[in-house]
Amino acid sequence: MAATYALHQTPISVPAPRLAAMHQDSALQTSLSRRALLWRSFGIGSGALLLAACSGLKAPSQPLVQPTTSSGPRRGGALRISQPTDIAPAVIPHLVVPQNFVLYPLMYDTLLTYDAQLQPQPRLATSWQWSADARQITLQLRPGVKFHSGKPFTSVEVKANLEHLRNPAVGSEWMSYANQMHIDASDPSTLVVTFDRPSKSSLDTLANTFMADPETLGTNTFVGTGPFRIQEWVQGDHLTFVRNSDYWQPDKPYLDQVNVQIQPDPQTSVVAMESGSLDWVVGVTAEDARRLQSDRAYQVLLNASGGNLFFMIGLDTTVAALADKRVRQAFSYAVNRQRMVDAALAGYGRPASIIWPPQSLAYDAGLDQSHAYDPEKARQLLNEAGWDPSTRVALRVGADLPAPAVMAQIYQGDLNAIGVNVSLEQKSTQEMLVLLQKRQVGGAWISPANLMNFSPATFFTSNAFARVPNPSNFTSDQYTSLVAQASAATDDQTLKPVVHDLTQLMLDESFFIPIAQSEFAGLGVARATVRDVAWDSTSMYRFQDVWLAA
């Protein structure tokens, strides 16, 4: 296949996946199934996570995204959103954390994106071309783009953003790829990135790095090129965003304003939405989502690319009690995954022993059932490891993330049942972020995880819990070697056996224990008057396309 992409030179609106269409379009599912994950950067899709009957997830009882009216989108109005936690400013916009999911797509944009077929499409870059040896990519930047401050967007700013990913203090998922980049920004309209070795999966980085004015990085000033600019931030209370009149898509966005309230209690937010004072709630409990799904006045925002939303357990291998892999394996067999799916996700998901979705090249059905709930085997492994029943293990979880908090309570009971004394500690999301970034969790934790729907090479080099270094403080020569082989693979035939070995190694070491694949995107519910809700391949919403019906 040709290694050159010459895409549209004019502004375009690329439709993102929508749940109703994904559940109904079996032809699309077939066309994406098992396709070449590694070669996405050369134009071949990666086997999207289309959550339909073939993956065992429940189809919706109603269309979840209301169709556009014949008269087209309505302009104007203010979208009112509630989320449980305030933004984390220090990492904006180069670390993906749940509390920043709304802010990023409102204010920032990426060089390119992936469409519903996971084909790369232009955004701030209009075209790109790979060298024959896949060691260099040249991108042409869109002319006339401005930051919210009026400053022109050029290759110099792109270079600064990509180099900022290398800062360990940022903790970006894309740090490993950024460390391999040699960036030439001598031409303001052209960016040339050269790699020490072939790096085909690196296009995932370019598609997922939000572009900020470099002068604002690491500050409490947020300036991007996105469809909205920030007007006001009152910490712990609210954020106000207003339409960017200089947005590079001149007919977008449709909304005049987006107001984000910080409301730690999801029940209060749901009541406010039902009374009409909110349009959209992030952080709804799964039980409320299931209840509201039966009411056509609401739409449950299920994730059409849900492979980037798994829940997992991490174990800090530097803790003496967790150093023996037999103990960690016992902790894996002790997970009652189906109960967690039913109780924490209200059935919006499927139990998973491995981190890959069924449509992934890396998926293995046998391995996916290999650590099914087996408390007797868990007890046996603990006995073999000489487990001391007086040992106490800390289990930490973000108190403001509803699903992980419920899972933690269930897991505490699961571990107690096999003779493990667990102290459950609820932390704020910010406290958990600091512990994870510093790799000082000091026990076990439960968290969402992402990037499974990109190349497996991308997952192992970019996912915060799988890459080295990681919060589990796990590494081994074998693991490092296999990850390097996956990154260097030039075709799927080479990649697949390496990823299989990596998956087996992860099961054996059990430093990273999958719980479930979820289809609940950000635990969000919106009123039916919120139209054309769509998201990209990292579950971030495309607010430039959203509009409000009268």
Q: List the chain pLDDT tens, one digit each, 550 residues.
A: 222 222 222 222 223 332 222 232 322 222 222 223 333 333 322 222 222 222 233 333 333 344 444 568 999 999 999 999 899 898 899 988 878 989 999 999 999 988 766 678 999 999 999 998 889 999 999 999 999 999 999 999 999 999 999 998 888 889 889 999 999 999 999 999 999 888 878 888 999 999 999 999 989 999 999 999 999 999 999 999 999 999 999 899 999 999 999 999 889 999 999 999 999 999 888 788 889 989 999 998 876 444 457 899 999 999 999 999 999 999 999 999 999 999 988 888 899 999 998 878 899 999 998 999 999 999 999 999 999 999 999 999 987 777 888 999 999 999 999 999 999 999 887 788 889 889 999 999 999 888 887 788 889 988 889 988 899 999 999 999 999 888 888 778 888 999 999 999 999 999 999 999 987 655 689 999 999 988 776 667 889 999 999 8
> What would the CATH number be for the domain defined by 4-221+521-548?
3.90.76.10
Does residue 25 sit in helix, strand or coil? coil
78-83 β-sheet, strand order: 228-234, 238-243, 257-262, 78-83, 280-282, 520-527, 298-302
pLDDT at 212: 97
| CA dist., res. 222 & res. 165, Å (int) | 17
pLDDT at 12: 25
Residues pairing with 394 in the sheet: 423
Name the residue among 207, 223, 230 with its Cα closest to residue 93: 223
Q: Which residues of the chain does CATH 3.10.105.10 include?
A: 310-518
> What H or E segment, with its residue span, contains residue 531?
strand 530-531
The identity of residue 167, as a single letter, is N
Q: Determine the topology of domain 310-518 in CATH.
A: Dipeptide-binding Protein; domain 3 (3.10.105)
Does residue 412 sit in helix, strand or coil? helix
| CA dist., res. 140 & res. 190, Å (int) | 5
Tokens of 453: 């729907």
Angle at 47 between CA 44 and CA 49, to 5 degrees: 140
Residue whose tokens read 């604002």: 216
How many Cβ atoms are within 10 Å of 133's Cβ, its own excluded? Answer: 11
Name the residue among 194, 56, 203, 50 with its Cα closest to residue 119: 203
For residue 545, CA distances in Å to 71, 234, 314, 347 come to 15, 26, 37, 29
275 backbone dihedrals φ, ψ, rounded to 5° = -85, -10
pLDDT at 134: 84
pLDDT at 192: 98
Q: Which residues of the chain does CATH 3.90.76.10 include?
A: 4-221+521-548
CB 121 within 8 A of CB 115: yes
Name the residue among 517, 238, 539, 522 with its Cα closest to residue 401: 522
| CA dist., res. 36 & res. 483, Å (int) | 18
| CA dist., res. 479 & res. 51, Å (int) | 30
> What H or E segment, with its residue span, contains residue 383?
helix 375-384
Per residue, the 3-state secondary structure of 90-127, as one string, reads HHCCCCCCHHHCCHHHHHCCCCEEECCCCCEEECCEEE
Residue 153 contacts by C-beta under 8 Å, 6 or more apart in sequence?
124, 141, 142, 145, 146, 147, 211, 225
For residue 521, CA distances in Å to 162, 357, 415, 527 come to 27, 15, 28, 15
